[in-house]
Amino acid sequence: MIFLQRLRTNCDQYAAKTALEFVRDDGVTVVTYRQLEDNVLRTMAYLRAKGVAEGDRVAIQLPKCLPFVYLHLAVMRLGAISLPLNSGYPAHELCYFLQDAAARLLLADTEMRPSLLALPGGVPAVEETVFLDARSDEGFAALIAGYDPAECAGLPVPQDPTTTCLMIYTSGTTGRPKGAELTHGNLTANLDALHTAWGWQPSDVLLHVLPLFHVHGLIVALHGALHAGATVCFLPRFEPERALATLCARRCTVLMAVPTIHRRLVGVADASRYDLGHVRLITSGSDRLPDDLFARFQATFGHTLLERYGMSETGMLISNPLEGERRVGSVGRPLPGVEVRIVHPETEAPLPDNEVGAVQVRGPNVFKGYWRQPQKTAEAFTPDGWFRTGDMGLREPDGYITLKGRLRDLIISGGYNVYPSEVELVLAQHPAVQASAVIGCPDDEWGEVVVAVVVPRPQAALTGEDIISHCRGYLVNYKIPRRVILVADLPRNSLGKVQRARLQQEWCERR
Ligand code: MLC
């Protein structure tokens, strides 16, 4: 059953049960499954009145809030395409996504109003921008109150598994980010697989600490819980003590997070005083879980983290088991319905067990393609339909897969992907920059941090601070270099390509 249909069924079956709780400093907003359905139907009527129709892209750039959830679900239910965007994107970066996706409507935070209205030529591409005060539930409730839920209650729930319902932007080794088109079928296949693998129950209460604009927080966590008829307890942002206190106070049973968050949890003073005995599952993903953190988490909370592996284009692919060995350093075995193979990175011939090669995947969870990028889509797949993940790994004889680095120049910082090319393009726009290379350096807290190695133009008086303040205007916070190194020249190979590995050797260790 398509996810949206299942959610609709859950709204009937669990009508009086809490679907969503939003915990704020000044109290908790509670939304039952019946109210969720009502709010989604009203939001659909609101969006229809704005002219949103099947296939339209609707960009949502809001901080974490309940209206985000209603808008996202309503857009998909209308057969349109939800385009969630990081609430931290500065106007300049946001424009690229709006233009590329040719979004019909932008729902933006009121805080973005000054910078968006100051854009020369206005907000590009979109037909309308609506500013919402997402921090106030009352404001949105008042906005949709005048719309009749009955207007959309009779509309058929989209059923075609091949229709795109969600677009998540991801970058590549070259060029600008691309919109990965995920279909109803992709989401459903992934949720069905996770439901079984992780033993989701209607009685589960998920503590939601992640952002809503990525696959992890949106699909794996939020959709996962709604698919199960469970309860989602949202924290507006991650704060370690508050997360632990809420886990206990609200008797949460599931937590999903990235290694940086787990590291902050174990770092809380006297963390083991929090009794997490009622929690049944704590997962880790979006970045490699360091072995020491796996052990420290176990020692602190008595919980064995369940590490899993996925990506925006594919949803979840591989997971350690709910029952059985959660192997340190390994991401586990392929989820039901997902095929994984390890191939030679150049010939793409399958490799025997225990040999490191490129990880390729296939299954109903794998995305349709990159939005309006047939060439890039073709390059992402082998001729026989396997998706090239860009990660390296090996399979052990018992089927467990261990990731062993990346084929492409990807930096993962705090669970967010950063592609050097994106930052380099911004650096190139600085008039005093002659050349640059962006590398990831290992970091205990963030996994990796972004470091820029910059060659200034001759005679230019350039400082690292100049570079950083230039980047602030163009890039979201986690892509801004933490360190800028000014050099006279970059090491290049005989083809003129910058040797990033040499830069890493030279600069990452010298701290
Ligand atoms: C915040 N900052 C970061 C950062 N997050 N810098 C580098 N990397 C990051 N990930 C910046 C802040 O802007 C600030 O800069 C400084 O670091 C300190 O901020 P902070 O307050 O300590 O950070 P915080 O806001 O608490 O955020 C940390 C975090 C967050 C770990 C909670 O990064 C986070 O939610 N990460 C989760 C990412 C995620 O959901 N990924 C899923 C992708 S989906 P300044 O200059 O302002 O001081 C995917 C598929 C899959 O990958 O398999 O899951």
CA of 214 to the centre of ligand 1 (A): 12
> What distance lies between CA 122 and its chain's CA centroid?
28
Q: Could you tell me if the CB of 87 is within 6 A of ligand 1? A: no
Lowest-confidence segment of 72-86, 105-119, 300-314 by average pLDDT: 105-119
| pLDDT tier, 121 (very low <50, low <70, confident <90, very high otherwise) | confident
pLDDT for res 510: 53
The two three-digit tokens of residue 402, written as one number: 């261990």
DSSP lists the bridge partners of residue 388 as: 360
Which range (144-158, 169-183, 327-341, 377-391) has the least confidence?
A: 169-183
Measured in Å, residue 259 CA sits from the centre of ligand 1 at 11
Distance between CA atoms of residues 347 and 38, nearest Å: 54
Most confident of 123-132, 286-295, 489-498: 286-295
pTM of the model: 0.95
DSSP 80-108: -EEEE--TT--HHHHHHHHHHHT-SEEEE
**Of 419, 478, 482, 484, best ligand 1 pocket probe by most atoms within 8 Å of the beta carbon:** 478
Of 407, 359, 368, whose CA–CA distance to 180 is shortest?
A: 368
pLDDT in tens, 382-406: 999 999 999 999 999 999 999 999 9
284 Cβ closer than 6 Å to some ligand 1 atom: no
Region of 270 (left: φ > 0; alpha: ψ -120 to 50; beta: rest) is left
Query: Which of the pair, 139 or 42, is modelled with greater confidence?
Result: 42
Q: Quick one: which of 407, 406, 409 has its CA closest to 422?
A: 409
Closest CA to 252 of 269, 272, 275, 223: 275
Q: Which residues contact 195 (CB under 8 A, 6 or more apart)?
A: 224, 227, 228
| CB of 211 shorter than 6 A to ligand 1 | yes
Which band of pLDDT confidence, cut at 50, 70 and 90, is reported for residue 171?
confident
Cβ contact 288:411 at 8 Å? no
Whether residue 173 is predicted with pLDDT greater than 80 in this model: the reply is no
CB neighbours of residue 486 within 10 Å: 15
Q: What is the Å distance from ligand 1's center to 215 Cα?
A: 15
Ligand 1 site-directed mutation target among 260, 335, 438, 483, most atoms within 8 Å of CB: 260
Q: What is the mean pLDDT of residues 124-148?
A: 90
In sequence order, which residues have a C-beta less than 8 Å from that of residue 237 and are 6 or more positions away? 64, 209
Over residues 1-29, the pLDDT tens digits come to 999 999 999 999 999 999 999 999 889 99
Q: Is the CB of 216 inside a 6 Å radius of any atom of ligand 1?
A: yes
- Cβ of 129 less than 6 Å from ligand 1: no
* CB 310 less than 6 A from any atom of ligand 1: yes
pLDDT at 174: 67
> Which pLDDT value is given to residue 471?
97
Q: Which residues pair with 180 in a beta bridge?
A: 168, 370
Closest Cα partner for 235 from 207, 259, 216, 213? 207
Instruction: For 128-151, give one letter per residue: b (16+ CB within 10 A) or e.
Output: ebebbbbbebeebeebbeebebee
Closest by CA position to 207, among listed 172, 243, 173, 240: 243
Nearest-atom index, ligand 1, CA of 312? 50
Cβ–Cβ < 8 Å for 78, 52: yes
What are the Cα distances from residue 154, in Å, to 42, 77, 131, 352?
Answer: 13, 12, 29, 54
- pLDDT tens for each residue of 189-230: 999 999 999 999 999 999 999 999 999 999 999 999 999 999
Of all protein residues, whose CA lies closest to atom 33 belonging to ligand 1? 414
Asked if residue 511 has pLDDT above 90, the reply is no
Residue whose CA lies nearest to ligand 1 atom number 32? 238
Distances (CA, A) of 415 to 302, 411, 412, 502: 24, 10, 6, 25
Among 408, 460, 416, which Cα is nearest to 436's?
Answer: 460
pLDDT of residue 122: 83
Tokens of 500: 């990033």
Ramachandran angles phi, psi of 424, nearest 5° = -60, -35
CA distance 157 to 27: 34
286 lines ligand 1 (CB under 6 A): yes
As a whole number, the mean pLDDT across the chain is 96
Report the pLDDT value the prediction gives residue 26, as an integer from 0 to 100.
87
**First-residue to last-residue Cα distance in the chain:** 53
pLDDT digits (tens, 9 = 90+) for 254-310: 999 999 999 999 999 999 999 999 999 999 999 999 999 999 999 999 999 999 999
430 CA from centroid of ligand 1 (Å): 25
Q: Atom 35 in ligand 1: which residue has the minimum CA distance?
A: 210
Determine the length of the chain. 511
Higher pLDDT, 377 or 125: 377
Confidence tier at 439 by pLDDT (50, 70, 90): very high
Bridge partners for 114 per DSSP: none
Q: Is 311 in the pocket of ligand 1 (CB under 6 A)?
A: yes
Any atom of ligand 1 within 6 Å of the Cβ of 174: no
- β-strands 411-413, 416-418 pairing: antiparallel
Structure tokens at 222: 């939020």
